[in-house]
Amino acid sequence: MKQRILQQLYSLPLRAHLLMMALLLSLPAMVLIIKSGMAEQKGAYRKGFSEARRLANDIAKEQYNLAGNVEQLLMALEQIPDVERRDQKTTHAILAAILERNKQYGNIIIADEKGDVWASALPMTGSFSIRDRRSFQQAVKTKRFSSGDFAVGRVSRRSTIGFSYPIIEDSGKVRGVISANMNYEQFKERFHLASLPQGSAFSIIDRNGVIVARSLDPERYVGTRLRQETFQRMMTGPKRATFIDRDLTEDKRIVSYHKLQLQGEGTPYLYVRTAFPLKAVMEKARLALLLNIAALSSMLVLAVLSVLHLGNVFFVRRMKTLHGAAHRMAQGDLDARVRQVSDEGEIGRLGEVFNDLARNLSARQATLLKSEQELQELNRTLVKRVEEETERRLTHERLLARHARLVAMGEMIAAIAHQWRQPLATLGATIQSIRMAWERDCLNESFMKQAEHDAQKQLFYMSDTIEDFRNFFTPEKVSERFEVKERVEEVLLLVSPQFAHSCVTLEAEYLVGDAPLYIVAYQNEFKQSLLNLVSNAFDAVVDQEEREPRGAGKVAVTLTTVNDKVVVEVSDNGCGIPAEHADKIFDPYFTTKPGNKGTGIGLYMTRLIIEESMAGTLSFTSGPDGTVFRIELTRDFSDEVARG
């Protein structure tokens, strides 16, 4: 049966075959239309998730910066002598000037230890107290910068969240509190929603589920509580998440939220929540599907007609001409040629196959002779070329080593930048307080001594970081005996500020007891190798958090021993190394980092240092839950042998 069908198909003329192929073209076209529609919907769905997550992250980042700025401001205000003396008139002028220049604040007030307000940036119509505000209570209780919850400003009359900072005497007693609340109306101006789907909105919610600010219908929703099940999902969920949920209007929406929490507080003080209408997100995909159907249908009809016409002109007629020439050659006409058929395209070249065969045989013989001469010449110059290639590789490796050192220096400079951020902020506050004291003619010796002491303390700290940087990159002439745990701690100390200002934690575990572990090697090269592995682990965790957040990121450094080996492991719970990249991860200039983040030489130089310079081994294991790099070095027992 199958053979009969094939015979019938073979017996059909060329025009019938062309018609069958033209009809078959419609099947892939229809599949393409359906798949394109599904792809458009999936793309719109993913884009909606991405846009909702991006907007939530942008607003959360802005709020994080505002919280940091208000903490610095309140700390600086505490140092002003007029505030210490409770000079109400002068203090009011200072607060009013600050509020005028910083529209992000709703009001700034100062209260005594009982909560009675004695100074305000906005004019006070009467006396009032803030002792019932959570930020005041927490600042007095914890004696540190604290956040509040939803409230309506008693002077500004705006819905807001307040922050408070205690004024502490030398004896440790709280003698007052400085508070500032935020003006969230500026968020509507800063975060434009015009480019997003119609009906998109963002909300700012306090720790109790009360809506503090909302971009859409604020008069209706500000001050009301979010649905309990919706708020409970954010409270018990991860720090960031994006999902499908029902908004306050009971419509299906793409929802993304971000938690914000002050250091030292046990729970988040703020939730940023964005919501995109699912119907509006998918509307563009549905419209695109209709346009694709119309466009592809028109193209399908045109393609079928074109195949039938062009097939007859360029295929059927030319095959008949080729058949006639072949038939004459079969009848004995050896001079028969098909040159009268156009020599363009596949059919034209088929007519020249016999002549091409002869020319190709001649050309192949000439090519073989030329190849033999080239091989003989190659054998005569092989030694010289091997020497040149060896020298080139050595030069290349020296350049790679220098490049790796420069990359490590860049990472060290980034670490120093993190370490200098807080001292520079403190120096700025000290200078500002000196200027303000001078302007108010209250600059005395005691004040100057304290300011000098604070500035010198920060400068000495910054000088120490520069000394660590210089020692880290001091070139070494010979290898020396050094204690491994001490060098590991030096590297962790250098990178700790970078981890402190991120969502990644750094842990160290020493499974060696109190016994020192010595090896003989170049200690700075060892530290450079360990720094590179820790930095790579940090980047992997950050990349995982940006692409698919799954909880707290962690990098762990473990020091242990196995027989006569010292083992250092650097593990992370980042994105892992794909299996297809495992055999290339140590190749020079190979990197899996996106954009311009990676140079591709760090792991290559680390392996050269560990395995060639230090006679150790460097290996790794990786999976979806993270990666572990393992360094094994020979332990030096010379001190134990000497004592024995």
pLDDT bucket at 375, cuts 50 / 70 / 90: confident
Tell me, what's the pLDDT at 354? 45
The token pair that represents 322 in the structure block: 């080729």
Distances (CA, A) of 27 to 353, 451, 479, 573: 36, 81, 71, 46
Q: What is the rounded distance in angstroms from the CA atom of residue 499 to the CA atom of residue 493?
A: 10
pLDDT class of 358 with cuts at 50, 70, 90: very low
Q: Average of pLDDT values for 571-587?
A: 85
Is residue 144 within 8 Å of 185, Cβ to Cβ? no
Average pLDDT over residues 202-230: 88
Instruction: Judge residue 372's burial from the number of C-beta atoms within 10 Å of its C-beta, 0-12 exposed, 13-18 middle, 19 or more buried.
Output: exposed
pLDDT the model gives residue 347: 64
Q: What is the pTM of this model?
A: 0.45
Q: Report the C-alpha gap between 275 and 197 in whole angstroms.
A: 10
Query: How many C-beta atoms lie closer than 10 Å to residue 478's C-beta?
Result: 6
Say if residue 431's pLDDT is above 70: yes
Quote the mean pLDDT of the chain.
79
Average of pLDDT values for 414-438?
Answer: 65
Confidence of residue 361 (pLDDT cuts 50, 70, 90): very low
pLDDT tens track for 165-199 = 999 988 889 999 999 998 887 776 666 655 677 77
Put the strands of the sheet holding 504-510 in their side by side order: 504-510, 553-562, 565-572, 626-634, 617-623
Check: CB of residue 497 under 8 Å from CB of residue 414.
no
- The whole-number average pLDDT for the span 488-512 is 86
pLDDT above 70 as % of the chain: 74
Question: DSSP labels for 424-457?
Answer: HHHHHHHHHHHHHHHHTT---HHHHHHHHHHHHH
Q: What's the confidence (pLDDT) of residue 15?
A: 67
Half-sphere exposure of 124 (CA within 13 A, CB side): 19
CA 255 centroid distance within chain: 21
Distance of CA 363 to the CA centre of its chain: 57
Query: Which pLDDT score, from 0 to 100, does residue 42 have?
Result: 83
Greater pLDDT, 62 or 321:
62
Q: What is the pLDDT of residues 195-206, one digit of tens each?
A: 677 778 888 999
The pLDDT value recorded for residue 633 is: 94
445-472 and 523-547 are packed helices; what angle lies between their axes, rounded to 10 degrees?
A: 100
> What are the tens digits of pLDDT across the range 582-624?
888 878 766 766 655 556 677 888 888 898 888 899 999 998 8
In this predicted structure, what is the pLDDT of residue 585? Answer: 83
Partners of 26 in beta bridges: none
| Domains in the chain: ranges and CATH | 44-281 (3.30.450.20), 355-466 (1.10.287), 475-643 (3.30.565.10)
Pairing mode of beta strands 201-206, 270-277: antiparallel
Distance CA 311, CA 422 (A): 76
Query: Is the distance from CB of 15 to CB of 316 less than 8 angstroms?
Result: yes
pLDDT (tens digit per residue) in 515-571: 889 999 888 888 888 988 998 889 888 888 888 777 788 999 999 999 999 999 999
Cα torsion angle, 537, 543, 548, 553, sign: positive
From the list 167, 169, 174, 175, the residue with the least C-alpha distance to 77 is 167
pLDDT score for 571? 95
And the tokens for 286?
């549905």
Asked which of 64-68, 495-499, 530-534 is least confident by mean pLDDT, the reply is: 495-499
Assigned token pair, 31: 């599949």
Name the strands in the sheet holding 252-260, side by side, starting at the edge strand that comes first in the sequence. 211-214, 201-206, 270-277, 252-260, 240-246
Q: Read out DSSP for 88-104?
A: HHHHHHHHHHHHHH-TT
Question: Which residue has 């009032």 as its token pair?
Answer: 128
Helix axes 523-547, 484-500, angle to 10 degrees: 30
Distances (CA, A) of 641 to 482, 565, 633, 636, 644: 16, 16, 19, 10, 5
Amino acid at 529: S
Mean pLDDT throughout 487-493? Answer: 89
- Which residues, in sequence order, are CB contacts of 443 under 8 Å at separation 6+? 434, 437
- pLDDT value for 570: 95
User: Could you read off the pLDDT of 257-309 as tens digits, one per residue?
Assistant: 999 999 888 899 999 998 888 887 777 777 777 777 777 777 777 777 777 67
Q: Which segment of 107-116, 213-222, 269-278, 445-454 scores lowest on mean pLDDT?
A: 445-454
